[in-house]
């Protein structure tokens, strides 16, 4: 059963983003960014725990553009999504947050950290691949049919960037100067773990931890994920 709070609308970067929140308003802020095809409710179990005593946090889980209750749009580049998140935290009055991103959300998170480092206090990247071209390229995804809770144009656009990421993403990894935790999903993940390890190597102050859970680490092994996450955020 979905126990997440209803989303509210925030005008950010020229579109309307849906966002859910948990926890006391004066607690340290944490922003959770979901994977492709999901939405902010994907983080409900994690958000509820992060927001609970004895050390509660104020948790924000937006729907990225083209997902859930957020606007569909013409532009689905990861750079634009990172600017959406920057505009969102500014609109919410958040001055430096711990940012946790899973898969596509992790890509958006590290671009946010590169482009607006003051917005990110600590960075957590869950099973995120390094920005290296795919060889051979990923073939175009086929529409599964029926109504989808996300924009199919977003899938096509993000596939293009996954196949041929902008070289600037890799070149600017040294701009990520905040403490960073990279969590790999282990050998059963659909993301090659050598790419996850490479991502950790490229970020100057990154630590790599593997939780053998597959790609959906926080969903498949929430207790282990939370233990690693909270230990890192509390340091």
* pLDDT band with cut points at 50, 70 and 90 for residue 1: low
2, part of any domain: no
- Using CA atoms of 211, 214, 216, 217 in order, give the dihedral in degrees to the nearest 10: -10
Instruction: Give, as one character, the DSSP assignment of residue 203.
Output: S
Question: Residue 18 sits in which domain range?
Answer: 8-233
Q: What's residue 83's pLDDT?
A: 98
Tens-place pLDDT, residues 137-148: 888 888 999 999
What's the number of domains the chain is made of? 1
- Give SS3 for 104: helix
1, part of any domain: no
In this prediction, residues 199-205 reach a mean pLDDT of 97
**pTM summary value:** 0.98
Two tokens, residue 51: 């927001």
Tens-place pLDDT, residues 105-133: 999 999 999 999 999 999 999 999 999 99
Two tokens, residue 169: 């993403």
104, part of any domain: yes
In this prediction, residues 168-182 reach a mean pLDDT of 98
Q: What is the largest CA-CA distance in the chain?
A: 49
Contact 113, 122 (CB under 8 A): no
- Give SS3 for 198: helix
Contact 89, 54 (CB under 8 A): no
Instruction: Give, as one character, the DSSP assignment of residue 36.
Output: T
Q: What's residue 140's pLDDT?
A: 84
226, part of any domain: yes
Strands 29-33 and 120-126: unpaired
88, part of any domain: yes
CATH code assigned at 182: 3.40.50.1820
Q: In Å, how far are 73, 114, 142 from 145, measured between CA atoms?
A: 20, 37, 9
65-69, 91-95, 100-104, 133-137: least confident range: 133-137
101, part of any domain: yes
């Amino acid at each position: 059963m979905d126990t997440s709070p209803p989303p509210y609308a925030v005008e950010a970067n020229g579109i309307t983003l849906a966002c859910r929140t948990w926890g006391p308003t004066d607690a340290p802020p944490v922003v959770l960014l979901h994977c492709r095809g999901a939405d902010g409710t994907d983080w409900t179990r994690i958000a509820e725990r992060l927001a609970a005593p004895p050390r509660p946090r104020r948790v924000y889980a937006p729907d990225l553009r083209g997902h859930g209750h957020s606007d569909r749009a013409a532009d689905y580049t990861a750079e634009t999504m990172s600017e959406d998140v920057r505009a969102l935290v500014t609109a919410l009055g958040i001055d430096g947050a711990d940012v946790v991103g899973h898969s596509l959300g992790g890509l958006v998170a590290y671009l946010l950290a590169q482009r607006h480092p003051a917005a990110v206090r600590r960075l957590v990247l869950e099973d995120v691949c390094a920005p290296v071209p795919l060889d051979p390229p990923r073939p175009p995804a086929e529409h599964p049919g029926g109504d989808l809770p996300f924009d199919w144009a977003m899938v096509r656009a993000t596939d293009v960037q996954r196949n041929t990421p902008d070289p600037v993403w890799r070149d600017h990894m040294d701009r990520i100067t905040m403490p960073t935790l990279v969590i790999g999903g282990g050998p059963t993940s659909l993301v090659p773990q050598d790419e996850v390890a490479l991502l950790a190597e490229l970020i100057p102050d990154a630590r790599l931890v593997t939780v053998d859970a597959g790609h959906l680490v926080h969903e498949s092994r929430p207790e282990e994920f939370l233990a690693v996450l909270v230990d890192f955020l509390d340091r």
